[in-house]
Amino acid sequence: MKRHTMVIVITLIVAGMLSCSSGDTATVTIDTGIRKQAQLTVWDKVLAWITLSQPVKADPVPSELVGQINSIEVTISASDMGTITETIPTTTGRITLDVPAGSQRTFEVVALDSDYRRFYGGIATVDLSAGQQVTLNIEMGKLTIVEPHWDYYTHSNVNIIYYTDYPEPQYFKVYENVGDPEQIFVLFDTILSSSLPSEPGEGQTTYFYTNSTINEGNYVKFYISAVSKYGEGERNQISE
């Protein structure tokens, strides 16, 4: 599978520079580079003049990926602020938000396909302070998808199959579906991939995960996702 990467540009401008008093917030413009027109818009030119820099424009998304993108979401989080989640219009590929100033603001951008599955993304963390002007680049790439299977030979292992044409997983997240009939997922466990025994194969690696709570009678209630340097991929149900 061919791997693609891109860089999106997040330009952070203190709201006061736009003649709008916003206290301790910063105005954050996120440009994913997903738009049909290659030329600079009026906003690109204004932005370049405000920042006294060259026009800020993200690298274009590979054309074969643009057709797969159904929607784009951005989530901004930190320990001392409420989580902000917004949808980025796919027609423009950009959005402007007010973000509270402070440290360790994490920006996670995720592209969803037509089945609303997470398949492309990127993450960056930045400190924001009043009066600050920052341009932040987020490297993006395909999100890692894994296939978890219940091991009927050991009656205890969950075999997590990772295909090596995806970015290497840093850790795995295990979710329990506690809803009935509506799915409601609760984070059950987080495991470093390096802490699990594994077995390499042709084009794939199998990780062996065990938890005494998960057994033959309830494994279908559990889902596993992989987290790479680009963020968290789609969670998949443990199957036979």
Q: For the chain, which residues make up each domain, given as ranges?
A: 5-142, 146-237
pLDDT of residue 32: 72
If we measure between CA atoms, which residue out of 197, 136, 207 comes closest to residue 168? 207
Residue appearing with tokens 């402007």: 96
pTM, rounded to two decimals = 0.78
- pLDDT at residue 39, rounded to an integer: 43
> What is the per-residue pLDDT across 132-154, written as a single tens digit (0 to 9) for each?
766 666 777 889 999 999 998 98
| Cα gap 48→52, rounded to integer Å | 6
Cβ neighbors of 230 (< 8 A, separation 6 or more) are: 120, 121, 122, 123, 139, 140, 141, 142, 143, 144, 167
Query: Are residues 69 and 45 in contact, defined by beta-carbon separation less than 8 angstroms?
Result: no
Q: pLDDT tens across 60-73, in order?
A: 555 666 678 889 89
CATH topology identical between 5-142 and 146-237 = yes
Q: Which residue has the tokens 């042709």?
A: 202
d(CA 185, CA 231): 18
Q: Which CATH class is domain 5-142?
A: mainly beta
Architecture per CATH, domain 146-237, reads as Sandwich (2.60)
